[in-house]
């Protein structure tokens, strides 16, 4: 996803919108799931008295 971000941000004109859309539909939901786990773990650490 980082490589895609660089291509979009720097204005390359050969962006394949189908590839972008496929990435949004597949990679983004997986990333959100992983972030929820990280957040839940961080919240658990906060409640367990960890710094």
- Output the pLDDT for position 38: 95
Give the pLDDT band (50/70/90) at residue 16: confident
pLDDT more than 70, % of the chain:
84
This prediction has a pTM of 0.53
- Look up residue 31 and give its two tokens: 């990333």
């Amino acid at each position: 996803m980082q490589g895609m971000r660089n291509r979009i941000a720097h204005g390359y004109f050969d962006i394949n919108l189908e590839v972008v859309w496929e990435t949004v539909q597949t990679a983004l939901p997986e990333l959100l799931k992983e972030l929820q786990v990280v957040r839940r773990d961080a919240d658990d650490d906060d409640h367990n008295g960890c710094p």
